[in-house]
Amino acid sequence: MTISRKEFYSLILILFLVLFLPVVIYFLGARKDIRPKAVLAGAANFRLNADTTSVSVGQRVNVLVSTQITDTNVRVSGADFTLLYDRDKLNLVSLNPVLGNNFTETVLIDDQNLPYIGEGDVFSYLRLSVVAKKNAADLAGGTVSLANVTFEAKNGGQGIIKFPNENSEMQVVGIIL
């Protein structure tokens, strides 16, 4: 009984899959996320602090976005937030992450003045993600500044700046000391 060339290659392929597949599964299964993480549900509150609440057309308002960690043992190693603003009343001038003492790197900046679909057609959004590549002891706790955002009033009336969907699209990552 002889094996044709096609059968031989098929047999080699089957043997290769039978032997190689378990090895791949073993190595993929051995990967683990070894970063320590804190469960921050209820321990982080996002804050907006504006330098003024009343502006005229053409004037600017600066907003400090920060997170307040209520547990003194928790340190922040990263944050991701989306901020909504009234697209008819406000124009985004600048989005500046607060880097240095708290965070070392900006991972994502999305400030393209696009409409936010989740809450009607009234709001535009911006999104920012920052991380701190530091030792656990050097990470910040308490109230941590995330970004300075500057808006310009383009129409009269009351404009809204807020976090979306009851803060559901914001994340803080940290560790417990």
pLDDT tens profile 49-89: 988 877 788 899 999 999 888 888 888 888 888 899 988 88
Q: What residues pair up with 86 in beta bridges, in sequence order? A: 123
Distance CA 64, CA 75 (A): 20
Quick one: pLDDT band at residue 30, thresholds 50, 70, 90?
Answer: low
The pTM assigned to this predicted structure is 0.71
Poorest-pLDDT segment among 37-41, 55-59, 86-90, 96-100? 37-41
Mean pLDDT confidence for 138-150:
89
**pLDDT value, residue 36:** 46
Quick one: pLDDT band at residue 1, thresholds 50, 70, 90?
Answer: low
Distance CA 94, CA 148 (A): 8
Residue 53's identity, in one-letter code, is: T
